Amino acid sequence: MQIKYSKDADVLVFILKKGKLSDSIDLAPGVILHLDKKGKPLEVEILDASKVTELNTINLKGLLVPAA
């Protein structure tokens, strides 16, 4: 698993596994689950992440990488 954060877009993405994104489901306002063509979860995306999380407390030893 990887976690990416884009400061410019204020988006936090939890990458569960690699694959081609095919569909998405809104789990809650600003929380999106991205699926592959078989309906398996690939990513969880949190929009406006700084408003709903405490980003400064994330310490996952190498899992947090800058978004491209």
Model pLDDT for residues 36-52, shown as the tens digit of each residue: 999 999 999 999 998 98
Q: Indicate whether 60 pLDDT > 80.
A: no
12, 4 contact by CB (below 8 A): yes
Better pLDDT: 3 or 43? 43
Backbone angles phi, psi at 51, to 5 degrees: -85, -20
> Against a cut of 0.85, is the pTM above it?
no
Distance from the first to the final alpha carbon of the chain: 16
Give the separation between CA 19 and CA 45, rounded to whole angstroms: 15
**Res 61 pLDDT > 60:** no
